[in-house]
Structure 1
Amino acid sequence: MQQRLRRSLTRAKFINTALLGRKRPVMEKVIHVADLDSDQTIQPLIKELETVTTEARHEVLQSVLDIYNDDENGDEPILMKDFHKMYLDVAFEISLPSQMTVLDASQPWMLYWVANSLKVMAKDWLTDDVKRKIVDKLFAISPLGGPFGGGLGQLSHLASTYAAINALSLCDNIDGCWDRIDRKKIYEWLLSLKEPNGGFKTCLEVGEVDTRGVYCALAIASLLNMLTDELSEGVLSYLKSCQNYEGGFGSCPHIDEAHGGYTFCATASLAILRSINQIDVERLLEWCSARQLQEERGFCGRSNKLVDGCYSFWVGGSAAILESLGYGQCFSKQALRDYILYCCQEKEQPGLRDKPRAHSDFYHTNYCLLGLAMTENSYTCASNDPPYKMKCDSNDQISSSGLTHVNPVYGLPMKNVKNFIDHFDSALPS
């Protein structure tokens, strides 16, 4: 032991004196620009630090700046509603192409994305015929009224049940469809997913546990008016442990970097629990603000990542929730509106996209529209009120696209949220 200690001390002394501590002659070299050849250039230090991500950002930034330079001297940008409606209507009229079979487990999500996009653009664009198709599809997936899987014969899942409940809320109780939802069975299923640490599994046996599961469970329970103390026990503690040093939220306690999607799930969950004041709100505001990129004007989802239109809702929605509770506005709504209208839509392709050169899709169409709606409005909510009583007022400082007022906690039109919750005003059957 002593020999090993002496060898370690000798090695440390050698490193300190022979390597780190040795004297080196100071060399000075003065370079005059006039003496350089015209072909020579001075490489900036940042050149040595470039990565795939920084190179991709340079390309995206150049595309964005080209759009701004070309378009900003023209007319005020507008949302091409009728053009995007054509794209959304196709989803209910034809069979989707074979390459979309990867979304087989996301059928309730696609119904929600498309139906919600139509309703956000105009409250009467979701026709009764389409509502009936949505209802038939969802109750074919779960004939007994829930919980819901992603498709026929698939396991019940928190995410697909959340999407199914959202989609049904958009159907305005057509043909009494809301009464076909089995609240008691869904409640018992939610309890079976509950973990001792306050989180929720997304699926029995094989599901992961993270902030997405917490949000989906709380959103389902609050929309169906069955959020009990038994269901919410320990959830606040779980969520508080997911806020990290950055100020945003990761997926799980103490381990993940902050992410826009997880941050929204945690923030909306805290709003449902009426416990936003139990976290470090100032750090959360700073994190949300830092996600808006100055040049692009849109949001990214994590530090040093690319701008993406969907974070108009995931980060913008978190900011809107904080705004409603009196914490102020932490980002530029006008800048975000510019990004969505200039960069997330194009005249040659209907639907909205995440960034220039990308293709439009139902997912980004929905969340870009939700983000746009929140830039054009202001939110207030009494601290003791549940989030479905949140109020929305038009922002006189920003031009209006005439969108339906949306509730940022649920990602749904405000009227649909209130009507749905009011419908389930009775207690659960014992």
Structure 2
Amino acid sequence: MSSQLSSFQNSTPKLLGRKRSPTERIVPSEEESSSGSEESVVAMVKEMDTETTEARDKLIYECRLLLERDESNTLNKEFHRRYLDSPFSHPLPPGMVALDASAPWLLYWIANGLRTMNQSWLKTETQYRIQEKVFRVNPHGGPFGGGLGQLPHLAGTYAIVNALAICDNVEGCWDKINRTSIYDWLLSLKREDGGFQTCLGVGEYDTRGIYCAISIASMLGLLTQELCENVVEFLIHCQNYEGGFGGVPHEDEAHGGYTFCAVASLAILGALDRIDVEKLTDWCSQRQYNDEKGLSGRSNKLVDVCYSFWVGGTAAILEAYGYGNCINKAELKEYILKCCQMETRPGIRDKPGTRPDFYHTNYGLLGVAITENSFQLDPRVSNSLKIDSFIINPIDNSVLEPINPVYGLPSSDLEKFYKHFK
């Protein structure tokens, strides 16, 4: 064993991404630890100290300091409002030019964060500017790319449809969406195995592409049997032995983002009963750590506030379907509000030691909204999920708009948008 370890350590510099060799740590048994004799210590268990384990030890320490503070769990909404208002009134810094293709996402994250905190904070003037920007990207009403001259992409189209959904149909913007063109484009991205390419000819395919396609189609009233053929089967085979879902079928690693995309898509298609829900709820529960109280996206990874929605939203969907509550909402809220807010900077960060950004601010706020409510389907509605069939009940002093966990949008906005096309 020692010769194998030595050989492994000598070869590690050749491995891409590895900065240093792991450190061997001997963990004695309980009896040996209590004896106090160094000579009696026998290597019963050998663990490896890695950058990840050291990072988590440091993170646990930082989280404990923050969690033990006497301050109450209060969302500093006015502080975060300043952060989210700024991009609509000031040019973004030059360093963010790399996000050019992510402009639709920026519109959605920032506008949705404001809307989730307070319906009136997304001003009519801003809604008008959003729809003006969107239809400059594609004057014909979709499908949409990341910016001018860029190929249409499922992620960009999903983000733009979401951004328009919270714009109250200003300037009749909802009727400017070219549903026929978008539907034909979605069909062109469809694969025989049920997957969707994210971009025609050059895009990858995984559960994210399916969710974007199914979400867009359901919101715009475009779900057809042809569009949904083999989609459920593709998703079923993405659930692996851990209980979560990977990006593609057959034993890809379970991941919080992929899992949400798969579960939300199955909910829309009315097929949650075709997966192993018990293993899925176990996997979601295992993503919440006792020390930090937040959620991680994969096994043996650090907590990140965005999984308050990707995993927390998955848990909320399962709760709505009567499978119980598989995360501790009170502790998750404590992690978000005590560990991911800063007194000196507005916005929400992913964990202590990092800086706030628009992505984590939006999904952190959605996570808080999930912790403040319970979810159930309207008993009068059966079979597949209807967007306006959620019953959302406050379980805390709610300070945010109720959100639909399948779509990551305020429930009232989603209902109006859905009914417009229904």
- State whether TM-score is above 0.5: yes
- Alignment partner, residue 24 of structure 1: none
CA distance in 2, matches of 1:330, 1:145: 41
* Residue identity opposite 1:406 in structure 2: I
1:418 to 412, 415, 419: 415
- Alignment partner, residue 88 of structure 2: 92
Deviations 1:10-45 (A, max 9, x none): xxxxxxxxxxxxxxxxxxxx9995666xxx997997
CA distance in 1, matches of 2:108, 2:43: 48
- Alignment partner, residue 171 of structure 2: 175
What SS does structure 1 have at the residue aligned with 2:392? strand
Deviations 1:373-394 (A, max 9, x none): 0001001114425241232433
- Alignment partner, residue 10 of structure 1: none
CA distance in 2, matches of 1:152, 1:41: 70
For 1:42-121, what aligned pairs fall within 5 Å after superposition? 48-69=47-68, 71=69, 74-121=70-117
- Alignment partner, residue 140 of structure 2: 144
Shift of 1:279: 0.6
* Residue identity opposite 1:346 in structure 2: M
Shift of 1:401: 4.0
* Residue identity opposite 1:160 in structure 2: G
* Residue identity opposite 1:57 in structure 2: R
Unaligned runs of at least 5 residues, structure 1 = 1-29, 426-430
What SS does structure 2 have at the residue aligned with 1:231? helix
- Alignment partner, residue 259 of structure 1: 255
* 1:175–1:294 Cα change, 3 Å: same
CA distance in 2, matches of 1:56, 1:82: 32
Unaligned runs of at least 5 residues, structure 2 = 1-31
After alignment, is 380-389 or 149-158 more displaced? 380-389
- Whether the 8 Å contact between 2:269 and 2:384 is mirrored in structure 1 is no
CA distance in 2, matches of 1:121, 1:393: 17
Shift of 1:50: 1.2
* Residue identity opposite 1:414 in structure 2: S
What SS does structure 1 have at the residue aligned with 2:121? coil
Determine if the alignment matches structure 1 residue 350 to structure 2 residue 346: yes
Shift of 1:395: 3.5
* 1:68–1:43 Cα change, 3 Å: farther
CA distance in 1, matches of 2:45, 2:65: 23
For 1:231-246, what aligned pairs fall within 5 Å after superposition? 231-246=227-242
CA distance in 2, matches of 1:172, 1:80: 26
- Whether the 8 Å contact between 1:390 and 1:407 is mirrored in structure 2 is no
- Alignment partner, residue 315 of structure 1: 311
For 1:388-399, what aligned pairs fall within 5 Å after superposition? 388-396=387-395, 398=396
CA distance in 2, matches of 1:147, 1:33: 70
What SS does structure 2 have at the residue aligned with 1:111? helix
- Alignment partner, residue 379 of structure 1: 375
Shift of 1:402: 1.4
* Residue identity opposite 2:103 in structure 1: Q
What SS does structure 1 have at the residue aligned with 2:315? helix
- Whether the 8 Å contact between 2:267 and 2:384 is mirrored in structure 1 is no
Deviations 1:49-84 (A, max 9, x none): 111111111111111011112x1xx24220000000
- Alignment partner, residue 326 of structure 1: 322
Determine if the alignment matches structure 1 residue 269 to structure 2 residue 265: yes
Shift of 1:99: 1.0
CA distance in 2, matches of 1:385, 1:237: 16
* Residue identity opposite 1:260 in structure 2: G
- Whether the 8 Å contact between 1:148 and 1:160 is mirrored in structure 2 is yes
What SS does structure 1 have at the residue aligned with 2:120? coil
Determine if the alignment matches structure 1 residue 230 to structure 2 residue 226: yes
CA distance in 2, matches of 1:218, 1:92: 30
- Alignment partner, residue 402 of structure 2: 405
* Residue identity opposite 1:236 in structure 2: V
1:217 to 213, 229, 239: 213
* Residue identity opposite 2:275 in structure 1: I
Per the normalisation by structure 2, the TM-score is: 0.89
Question: Matched residue pairs, number?
Answer: 388
What SS does structure 2 have at the residue aligned with 1:49? strand
* Residue identity opposite 1:331 in structure 2: I
CA distance in 2, matches of 1:32, 1:218: 58
* Residue identity opposite 2:289 in structure 1: L
* Residue identity opposite 1:295 in structure 2: D
* Residue identity opposite 1:393 in structure 2: I
- Alignment partner, residue 285 of structure 2: 289
CA distance in 1, matches of 2:125, 2:391: 30
* 1:35–1:42 Cα change, 3 Å: closer
- Alignment partner, residue 302 of structure 2: 306
CA distance in 2, matches of 1:61, 1:55: 10
What SS does structure 2 have at the residue aligned with 1:341? helix
* Residue identity opposite 1:408 in structure 2: P
- Whether the 8 Å contact between 2:165 and 2:417 is mirrored in structure 1 is yes
CA distance in 1, matches of 2:206, 2:129: 32
- Alignment partner, residue 15 of structure 1: none
CA distance in 2, matches of 1:203, 1:336: 36
Shift of 1:102: 1.4
- Whether the 8 Å contact between 1:379 and 1:390 is mirrored in structure 2 is no
What SS does structure 2 have at the residue aligned with 1:359? coil
* 1:204–1:334 Cα change, 3 Å: same
* Residue identity opposite 1:388 in structure 2: I
